[in-house]
């Protein structure tokens, strides 16, 4: 449903930046910056996850150092993206054909292995809650179509190319992954493959033997490489757009003289990606990817509604069908999925929002005003700590069940905190420009 919103906005606003560019046209200000911020982070985590996934898939057939191989994958596609979208497009076209061919063979052999259309039925043992929980975890599997909009400024004839590419890729992804998962779970029970580093490769070995496992490993590795490539491209274009609009330092929007690509943004994004790739925190990264994209999908749908309402005369080569049902349904589903994101990742999201708020105002308001604001916060905390220490010392505030020595120590800590924050507040407020 959300892809229809991407298609319409992508033809109306053919500039690099995707979700960020759409939010900028609809809302501007902090909302657009926050959208770009989350778009950058989600693609960074997506590149991390894809690179780690490639390494784990290869490790099923060849003993390797997973973090080291994942880092090598990131470096490889950093170089590819510096060369430009033309080369990237050629590489991805070849990779996609190979992947579809091998996975098609796997699916066909899966049906031949003992499955039939008569057996085909849908089941949900955990009910609707289980479906949403699984979707919140596997959301990243169906990503990819939205990346077309990220490089839309570099796409020829975007009015026709963008809708066709997005809709076709979305349909292919849904059919392909649904078929693969169904065949895999029908051939091998879930409890058997639960502990496998590459469940589909394990299932392929049962269906097609060792050769089949190797072929599917190649296909999955190629798919992971393509996803890494796409994510590095997407995050670098987002950082480029934020830099172009003055939110990030201008150096990040530098264009390579020979290749015409934002090479500084590509390198910067890859450095962060490598840092997270080395951690190996797969589950955390999965939810971080999904949180960022779910937030982005919600804002894209909201942007479509706002632009339809406030700028009805805009030229729209493609219009989202069944408006306003499609964007509203997309928003509702996105909000439901947020309920199933890991709580610690939601905390990370809240912290990222606060950091984005500070970064935005630091850039837009100016350094001196930010120091004054921070100084005011410091003075407030210092006064509060002083008040608490006074109330505790005079017996107005009593903490029952705490030893007197510990109580006195708490008073001293509050006095120290008060002194430090009051001093910091005075220094920030009185600082010269």
Domains identified in the chain, total number: 2
Percent of the chain residues topping a pLDDT of 90: 1
Q: What would the mean pLDDT of 72-93 be, rounded to a whole number?
A: 76
pLDDT score, position 147? 61
pLDDT score, position 149? 59
Domain boundary among 365, 387, 418: 365
pLDDT score, position 97? 82
Shared domain for 249 and 130, answered yes or no, is yes
pLDDT score, position 131? 60
**Predicted confidence (pLDDT) at residue 101 exceeds the cutoff of 80:** yes
Q: In whole numbers, what is the pLDDT of the chain averaged over residues?
A: 78
Shared domain for 6 and 124, answered yes or no, is yes
pLDDT score, position 136? 59
Beta carbons of 291 and 349 less than 8 angstroms apart: yes
pLDDT score, position 432? 63
63 burial level (CB within 10 Å; 0-12, 13-18, 19+): exposed
pLDDT tens for residues 238-275?
Answer: 888 888 888 888 888 888 788 777 888 888 888 989 98
pLDDT tens for residues 113-126?
Answer: 655 545 545 555 55
Closest CA to 236 of 265, 215, 208: 265
pTM of the model: 0.74
pLDDT score, position 222? 84
Question: Rounded CA gap, 284 and 344, in Å?
Answer: 8
Shared domain for 167 and 274, answered yes or no, is yes
Tokens 């984005």 locate to 356
Shared domain for 34 and 117, answered yes or no, is yes
Read off φ and ψ for residue 342, nearest 5 degrees: -55, 130
pLDDT score, position 138? 63
360-388 exposure pattern, b = at least 16 Cβ within 10 A, e = fewer: beebeeeeeebbbbbbeebbebbeebbeb
**Predicted confidence (pLDDT) at residue 225 exceeds the cutoff of 80:** yes
Domain residues for the domain of 384 are 367-430
Please tell me which of 88-102, 190-204, 348-362 the model is most confident about, judged by mean pLDDT: 348-362
Shared domain for 260 and 379, answered yes or no, is no
Shared domain for 263 and 392, answered yes or no, is no
pLDDT tens for residues 199-223?
Answer: 788 888 888 888 888 888 888 888 8
Give the pLDDT band of residue 158 (cuts 50, 70, 90): low
pLDDT score, position 103? 82
Torsion over CA: 269, 136, 52, 215 (sign): negative
More confident residue, 376 or 364: 376
Shared domain for 289 and 422, answered yes or no, is no
pLDDT score, position 154? 56
Q: What would the mean pLDDT of 274-290 be, rounded to a whole number?
A: 83
326-349 exposure pattern, b = at least 16 Cβ within 10 A, e = fewer: bbeebbebbeebeebbbeebeebb
Domain boundary among 365, 392, 409: 365
Q: Write the CB contacts of 29 (distance below 8 Å, at least 6 apart in sequence).
A: none
pLDDT tens for residues 4-27?
Answer: 777 777 777 766 547 788 888 888
- The DSSP secondary structure of 59-126, one letter per residue, reads HTTS---HHHHHHHHHHHHHHHHHH-HHHHHHHHHHHHHHHHHHHHHHHHHHHHTT--GGG-----TT
pLDDT score, position 88? 57
Read off φ and ψ for residue 116, nearest 5 degrees: -150, 165
Question: Rounded CA gap, 433 and 431, in Å?
Answer: 7
Shared domain for 193 and 240, answered yes or no, is yes
Shared domain for 269 and 408, answered yes or no, is no
Please tell me which of 38-42, 146-150, 207-211, 277-281 the model is most confident about, judged by mean pLDDT: 38-42
Shared domain for 277 and 402, answered yes or no, is no
What are the distances in angstroms from CA 117 to CA 83, 112, 182, 183, 274? 46, 11, 12, 11, 44
What are the distances in angstroms from CA 386 to CA 69, 234, 378, 423? 54, 49, 12, 13
Shared domain for 298 and 395, answered yes or no, is no
pLDDT score, position 428? 72
Give the pLDDT band of residue 192 (cuts 50, 70, 90): confident
Shared domain for 345 and 401, answered yes or no, is no
286 burial level (CB within 10 Å; 0-12, 13-18, 19+): buried
Tokens 């490769």 locate to 201
Give the pLDDT band of residue 317 (cuts 50, 70, 90): confident
pLDDT tens for residues 31-61?
Answer: 888 888 888 888 898 899 889 888 888 887 7
CATH of the domain at 241: 1.20.1740.10
Domain boundary among 317, 333, 365: 365
Beta carbons of 154 and 85 less than 8 angstroms apart: yes
């Amino acid at each position: 449903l959300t892809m229809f919103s991407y298609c319409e906005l992508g033809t109306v606003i053919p500039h690099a930046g995707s979700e960020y560019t759409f939010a900028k046209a609809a809302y501007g200000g902090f909302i657009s910056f926050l959208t770009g911020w989350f778009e950058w982070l989600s693609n960074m985590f997506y590149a991390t996850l894809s690179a780690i996934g490639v390494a784990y898939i290869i490790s099923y057939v060849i003993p390797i150092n997973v973090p080291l191989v994942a880092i090598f994958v990131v470096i490889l596609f950093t170089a590819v993206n510096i060369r430009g979208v033309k080369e990237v497009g050629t590489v991805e076209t070849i990779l996609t054909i190979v992947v579809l061919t091998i996975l098609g063979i796997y699916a066909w052999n899966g049906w031949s292995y003992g499955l039939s259309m008569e057996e085909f039925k849908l089941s949900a043992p955990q009910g609707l809650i289980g479906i949403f929980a699984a979707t919140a975890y596997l959301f990243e599997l169906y990503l990819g179509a939205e990346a077309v909009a990220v490089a839309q400024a570099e796409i020829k004839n975007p009015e026709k190319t963008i809708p066709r590419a997005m809709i076709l890729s979305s349909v292919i992804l849904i059919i392909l992954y649904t078929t693969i998962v169904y065949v895999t779970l029908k051939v091998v029970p879930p409890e058997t493959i639960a502990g496998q580093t590459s469940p589909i490769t394990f299932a392929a070995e049962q269906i097609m033997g060792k050769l089949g496992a190797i072929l599917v490993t190649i296909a999955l590795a190629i798919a992971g490489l393509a996803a890494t490539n796409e994510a590095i491209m997407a995050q670098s274009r987002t950082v480029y757009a934020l830099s172009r609009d003055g939110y990030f330092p201008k150096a990040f929007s530098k264009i390579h003289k020979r290749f015409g690509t934002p090479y500084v943004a590509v390198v910067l994004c890859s450095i962060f990606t490598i840092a997270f790739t080395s951690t190996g925190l797969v589950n955390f990264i999965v939810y971080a990817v999904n949180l960022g994209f779910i937030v982005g999908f919600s804002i894209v749908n909201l942007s479509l509604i706002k632009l339809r309402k406030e700028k009805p005369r805009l030229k729209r080569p493609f219009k989202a069908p069944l408006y306003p049902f499609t964007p509203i349904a997309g928003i509702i589903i996105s909000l439901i999925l947020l309920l199933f994101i890991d709580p610690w990742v939601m905390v990370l999201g809240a912290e990222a929002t606060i950091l984005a708020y500070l970064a935005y105002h630091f850039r837009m308001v100016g350094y001196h005003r930010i120091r004054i604001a921070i100084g005011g916060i410091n003075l407030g905390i210092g006064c509060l700590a002083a008040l608490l220490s006074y109330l505790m010392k005079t017996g107005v505030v009593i903490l029952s069940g705490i030893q007197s020595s510990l109580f006195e120590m708490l008073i001293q800590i509050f006095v120290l905190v008060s002194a430090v924050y009051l001093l910091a507040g005075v220094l920030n407020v009185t600082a010269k420009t």
